[in-house]
Structure 1
């Protein structure tokens, strides 16, 4: 049972790994639409889809008899509130392996979606549907979240039902290493928003934003970029942050109970009558950590969460950008960002969804910083010098971003240009 701050600190310490054991974990979400009517797929179509994927060796994950996901080896396919699907990849050593995993998944997905006449959209925000048009599913926690989340953020339901992101999970080899990496990933959030912007079209119109997804996450309950994250945030300070953070829900056996009235401290102090005042276990702590929706967060690894979903051709660009900096060139990147002013970072964070590369940070625009960080990332990947079978190192996954920098245009700009020419919905679907 967990009843002290020290136990939570030990939980974070248990994530410490030798550098040689560092892993890369990529998660990415996709929207699914019926080809016939351009409507988001409902749960009955998801069941057909999951059933077809079983032929590729996936195993069903059930909740009260309902299929809510699949797993195979160290990877999972999970079901999001509006029937978006997410691949949570295995923990792998190289970007080559991680990207091969994604392409294997794409191959399987394409066989199934073709058979079921489903189209995929790789965008940070649903470009077609109104919120009220999106079907839900029987995953229990979502019913409770749909009720409680809007109370703390006006766009929380848009976040749940209409956004898709790419996430990267990375390791740390000491508390000091965590402190450096966490400060970097929070400082570069505005740059990540601008560089990976891919959600400009909303309800079949140009939204005026390059990353409308990021705008939504800024107005989501339990989200944002706390000022605390720009300090030298060690395990103890992060433990204090999550202890005093409200609970979203408590899983008690096979029932979900609203945590609206409670913080995790109340849970640790045995003050929750609805569960007979029992104390939290490690599973409860893990759930709490995964329902804090900040731009980055700590579990037994660091989760980076500020990237819009990217098309299949650039899916590995975001992970490569961050791995090059954080695993390959940490000290040089840390030196660059260490004196940035947190107020200026937060201001850039708020402006980046709309202004993109034109946002100002520390006297330069985000295009300058994206270009600078891309060079530092490439240097880091060159230093890692991990080769594929063709003898190429991991810098090949930065080619997409280099093209964006060379042309000074993001995925969002391409989407606006393509769609605005004829407002053809087919331009929004993956090839």
Structure 2
């Protein structure tokens, strides 16, 4: 049972790994549309798709006899609130392996979607549907979240039903290593938003944002970029943050109970009447950590969550960019961001979804900082010098970002140009 802050600190300490055992985990989401009507697919179609994927060696994950995901080895495909699907990949050794995993998954997905007449859309925000047009599914927790989330953030339902992101999970070798990495990943959030912006079309119109997804996450309950995260935040301070954070829900056997009235410390004090005042266990702590929707967060590893989903051309670029900075060149990057002013980072964070590279930070625009960080990342990947079968290192995955910076044109800009020409919905689908 967990009833002291020290136990939460120990939980974070148990994530410490030797540097040679550092892993990379990638998660990415996709929208799925029915070609018959250009509408998001319903749960019946999801079941058909999951059934077809079983032929590729996936196994069903059930909740109350409903299929809500698939697993294969240590990989999972999970079902999001509006029937977006997410691949949670295995923990792998390098970007070559992680990218190959994504390639295999997308190959399987494309075979199946073609067969059952579905199109994939790789965008940070649904470019077509209105919120009230999106079907749901029987996954239990989403019912409670749909009711409670809008109370704390006006765009929370848009986040649940209309956004897709790419997430990277990385390790730390000590508390000190965590402090540096966490400060870096939070300080560079505005640059991540600008560089990976890919959600400019909303309800078939230009949204006047480059990353509308980021705008939505800034107005989502339990989301955002707390100023605290831009400090040297150690395990104890993060434990305090977690204990004082409101609970979203508590899972009690097969029931989900709203946590609206409680903070996690109330749970630890045995003050939750609805569950007979029982104390939280490690699963309850893990659920609580997973329902804090900040731009980055800590579990037994660090989750980076500020990138819009994108197509194959850039899927591996975001993970490669961050791995170069955090695994290959940590001290130089930390030295750079340590000079940045916290208020200016927050200001850039708020402006980046709309202004993209034209956002100012510390007297320079985000294009300048993106270019600077890309050079530091390349240096980091060269330091790692992990080669594929063709003797190429991981820097090959940065090509897409180099193009973005050279042309000053993001995926969001391309989408505006492509779609504005003829407003043809098929321009929004993955080819």
- 1:295-306 equivalences under 5 Å are 295-306=295-306
Which residue of 1 is the match for residue 147 of structure 2? 147
Which residue of 1 is the match for residue 204 of structure 2? 204
The CA deviation string for residues 67-92 of structure 1, in whole angstroms up to 9 with x for no partner, is 00000001000000000000000000
How far the C-alpha of 1:104 sits from its partner, in A, is 0.3
The CA deviation string for residues 165-220 of structure 1, in whole angstroms up to 9 with x for no partner, is 00000000000000000000000000000000000000000000000000000000
Which residue of 1 is the match for residue 128 of structure 2? 128
SS in 1 for 2:39: coil
Q: Within 1, Cα distance between the matches of 2:312 and 2:32?
A: 14
The CA deviation string for residues 107-137 of structure 1, in whole angstroms up to 9 with x for no partner, is 1001100010000000000000000000000
How far the C-alpha of 1:415 sits from its partner, in A, is 0.2
Which residue of 2 is the match for residue 346 of structure 1? 346
TM-score by length of 1: 1.00
Which residue of 2 is the match for residue 17 of structure 1? 17
How far the C-alpha of 1:424 sits from its partner, in A, is 0.5
Which residue of 2 is the match for residue 157 of structure 1? 157
Q: Within 1, Cα distance between the matches of 2:210 and 2:178?
A: 31
Q: Within 2, Cα distance between the matches of 1:278 and 1:401?
A: 50
Q: Within 2, Cα distance between the matches of 1:227 and 1:115?
A: 48
Which residue of 2 is the match for residue 393 of structure 1? 393
Which residue of 1 is the match for residue 379 of structure 2? 379
Q: Within 1, Cα distance between the matches of 2:120 and 2:313?
A: 14
Q: Within 1, Cα distance between the matches of 2:314 and 2:223?
A: 26
The CA deviation string for residues 128-174 of structure 1, in whole angstroms up to 9 with x for no partner, is 00000000000000000000000000000000000000000000000
How far the C-alpha of 1:36 sits from its partner, in A, is 1.3
Confirm whether residue 418 of structure 1 aligns to residue 421 of structure 2: no
How far the C-alpha of 1:312 sits from its partner, in A, is 1.3
Q: Within 2, Cα distance between the matches of 1:63 and 1:201?
A: 35
Give the gaps of 5 or more residues in structure 2: none
How far the C-alpha of 1:314 sits from its partner, in A, is 1.1
Q: Within 2, Cα distance between the matches of 1:392 and 1:227?
A: 40
The CA deviation string for residues 287-318 of structure 1, in whole angstroms up to 9 with x for no partner, is 00000000000000000000000101210000
Q: Within 2, Cα distance between the matches of 1:310 and 1:14?
A: 33
Confirm whether residue 54 of structure 1 aligns to residue 61 of structure 2: no
Q: Within 2, Cα distance between the matches of 1:424 and 1:333?
A: 42
Which residue of 1 is the match for residue 194 of structure 2? 194
Which residue of 2 is the match for residue 332 of structure 1? 332
SS in 1 for 2:233: coil
Q: Within 2, Cα distance between the matches of 1:48 and 1:255?
A: 27
Which residue of 2 is the match for residue 30 of structure 1? 30
Q: Within 2, Cα distance between the matches of 1:417 and 1:227?
A: 36
Q: Within 2, Cα distance between the matches of 1:58 and 1:332?
A: 42
Give the gaps of 5 or more residues in structure 1: none
Which residue of 1 is the match for residue 321 of structure 2? 321
Number of aligned residues: 431
RMSD: 0.3
Q: Within 1, Cα distance between the matches of 2:310 and 2:107?
A: 17
SS in 2 for 1:250: strand
Which residue of 2 is the match for residue 71 of structure 1? 71
Q: Within 2, Cα distance between the matches of 1:52 and 1:424?
A: 29
The CA deviation string for residues 299-356 of structure 1, in whole angstroms up to 9 with x for no partner, is 0000000000010121000000000000000000000000211000000000000000
Q: Within 2, Cα distance between the matches of 1:174 and 1:43?
A: 43
Q: Within 2, Cα distance between the matches of 1:40 and 1:312?
A: 21
Which residue of 2 is the match for residue 108 of structure 1? 108
